[in-house]
Amino acid sequence: MGRFKPGQLARLDRKWVKLNRVNPPGLKHPGSTRIPNGNRKVLPRTRITSTKISGWRTIPSCVIASSDTTAADLYGFKEAIRANKTWLESLLNERGVIFFRGFPVKSPSDFNGVVEAFGFPEAFYVGGRASRTKVVGRVYTANECPPDQGIPFHHEMAYVPNFPSKLFFFCEEAPGSGGQTPIVLSYVVYEKMKEKHPEFVAQLEKYGMTYKKMMNDEDHPSSYTGRGWKSAYNTDDKNLLKEMVAELGTNLEWIGNAVKLITGPLPAIRIFDKESQRKVWFNNLSTGKIGPMTNDIHDQDAYVELGNGDLVPEQAKKDCLEILEEECVVIPWKKGDVMLVNNLMVLHARQPVLKPPRRVLASLCK
């Protein structure tokens, strides 16, 4: 099979950009398709470029292999990534998501090689709530809860101080229907919520958010937050667990073999881009319950409250969920797709799988 040759091309944003050892020229915003308010549009399965959401900047940037590169080998693809890493990183920071389609990524090992080609340090899933299993190298299952369950929008691990900055997803097996991974720009959510609930957002900025979770000693993959404390922290030593969570700013309370974890308050609105000073909606309000938490050791739900102890207004959460649905972009998975997400500016979710099977793998990076 032929390798990528210097000067070979991939389709990017409706223009041709060389994938070789010379960084591509300066980026310009491409033509885009507008998504009207209140309507979620599914991008076409072929010739994906980018889309604009309600007048906001485009998301994502999609790199599509041209017909003369689809047969090229994996080595050439990885070399192209290494040669253009600086440019790809700038694109990721501009758009929030890069979506690769049509490249020779066929197996978890192939995917692991692509992740390593970017050279980002690995982020470890310490304290994570989803049941996950290592597949190979730096590659894990994404979330092992039943495929017919949806997973709300979230920033990966926003409920702990040490969260990944980048996420890779790989579609090893595409579902017949459903199972997409919607994405939405976090600063859009912040601006929309500030318009609808200025007082609540001001409280979030002042007090932050506190996260509460009951964890059993065993995993419960029937829930998307059902990971047990032994798996989450890779220990069965209660004293060691106390030390580990303390370093993460988390308090614990033992209830038999279960543990109640309280983390925070953590900033719920953050500024990661020092140049633009743009604020992002960096919290997991959409995945948490807002009522008072009990000591039920079988409760697999996560809970959120304002950092001062006040409960989140129900209408604020309801409007947040509606904004996320209205502003998101959905790209149907195809076998071999790779999606790179900037976790500091983009939330992601999972839609229920309507026609299985589906197998999407993940890798987290610092």
Q: What is the mean pLDDT of residues 117-135?
A: 94
Would 197 be classed as within a structural domain?
A: yes
pLDDT at 43 (0 to 100) = 24
Q: How many domains does the chain have?
A: 1
Q: What is the mean pLDDT of residues 315-327?
A: 97
Question: Domain residues for 266?
Answer: 145-333+343-366
Would 175 be classed as within a structural domain?
A: yes
pLDDT at 66 (0 to 100) = 59
CATH number for position 304: 3.60.130.10
Would 229 be classed as within a structural domain?
A: yes
Would 273 be classed as within a structural domain?
A: yes
Would 55 be classed as within a structural domain?
A: no
Would 165 be classed as within a structural domain?
A: yes
Q: What is the mean pLDDT of residues 26-46?
A: 29
Three-class SS string for the chain? CCCCCCCCEEEECCEEEECCCCCCCCCCCCCCEEECCCCCCECCCCCCCCEEECCCCEECEEEEECCCCCCCCHHHHHHHHHHCHHHHHHHHHHHCEEEEECCCCCCHHHHHHHHHHHCCCECCCCCCCCCCCEEECCEEECCCCCCCCCEEEECCCCCCCCCCCEEEEEEEECCCEECCCCEEEHHHHHHHHHHHCHHHHHHHHHHCEEEEEEECCCCCCCCCCCCCHHHHHCCCCHHHHHHHHHHCCEEEEEECCEEEEEEEEECCEEECCCCCCCEEECCCHHHCECCCCCCCCCCCCEEEEECCCCCCCHHHHHHHHHHHHHHCEECCCCCCCEEEEECCCEEEEECCEEECCCEEEEEEEC
* pLDDT > 90 fraction of the chain, expressed in percent and rounded: 72
Return the higher-pLDDT residue of 308 and 36: 308
Q: pTM for the full model?
A: 0.85
Would 41 be classed as within a structural domain?
A: no
Residue 333 has pLDDT above 80, yes or no: yes
pLDDT at 63 (0 to 100) = 80
Q: What is the mean pLDDT of residues 295-307?
A: 93
Residue 14 has pLDDT above 80, yes or no: no
Would 232 be classed as within a structural domain?
A: yes
